[in-house]
Amino acid sequence: MLSYRHAFHAGNHADVLKHFLLVELLSYLNLKDKPYWYIDSHAGAGAYSLTEGYATKNAEFETGIARLWRRSDLPPVLNRYMDVVRSFNVDGQLRHYPGSPLVAQLCMRADDRLRLFELHPSDSELLLDNVEDFRKQVVVQVGDGFAGLKSVLPPAPRRALTLIDPPFEDKRDYRRVIDALEDSLRRFAPGTYAVWYPCLQRHESNELPEQLKHLPAKSWLRVELHVQTPSREGFGMHGSGMFILNPPYTLHDTLQGVLPYLVKHLGVDDGARFVLEQQAA
Residues carrying an active site annotation = 165
N-terminal to C-terminal alpha carbon distance within the chain? 36
Neighbours of 268 (CB within 10 A): 13
Could you tell me if residue 130 is left (phi over 0), alpha (psi between -120 and 50 degrees) or otherwise beta? Answer: alpha
Distance of CA 221 to the CA centre of its chain: 14
Task: Classify residue 183 by burial, with Cβ atoms within 10 Å: 0-12, 13-18, 19+.
Answer: middle
